[in-house]
Amino acid sequence: MHEEDAGSNSFGRAHALLAQAEIVCFLGFGYHPTNMGRLKVHEHYSGTVYGSAYGLESQEVERAKELIRLDSRLGDFFEDTLRFIRRNPVLV
């Protein structure tokens, strides 16, 4: 995500897609507080959020879960994107 205004059309479209989503999964995403605040996942989606967390320390994963503000299943430090997809029901 680039430094675009949170009220832009891109975020409006993202919010609409989140509202229609059956599954939300973040891959290769850093869970930066600014980006999580712009996406407002918890306002537009009510299911479980999945996400890779390759290279993130346990406290960073916990912070990401706090920012998601929904039930979430995140990967771990050593689990790359392919392994995460294989181990979670995100491509059903």
Asked if residue 9 is part of any domain, the answer here is: no
Asked if residue 14 is part of any domain, the answer here is: no
Q: Please report, rounded to a whole number, the percentage of residues in the chain having pLDDT higher than 70.
A: 91
Asked if residue 62 is part of any domain, the answer here is: yes
3-state DSSP helix/strand/coil percent for the chain, to nearest 5? Answer: 45, 10, 45
Domain range for residue 66? 23-87
Asked if residue 83 is part of any domain, the answer here is: yes
> For the chain, which residues score pLDDT lower than 50?
none
Asked if residue 78 is part of any domain, the answer here is: yes
User: If you ran DSSP here, which 8-state letter would residue 77 be given?
Assistant: T
pTM of the model: 0.87
Q: Name the domain count of the chain.
A: 1
- Token output for 74: 């995140």
CB atoms within 10 A of CB 26: 22
Asked if residue 28 is part of any domain, the answer here is: yes
Contacts of 23 (CB under 8 A, 6+ apart): 47, 48, 50, 89, 90, 92
Asked if residue 42 is part of any domain, the answer here is: yes
Asked if residue 74 is part of any domain, the answer here is: yes
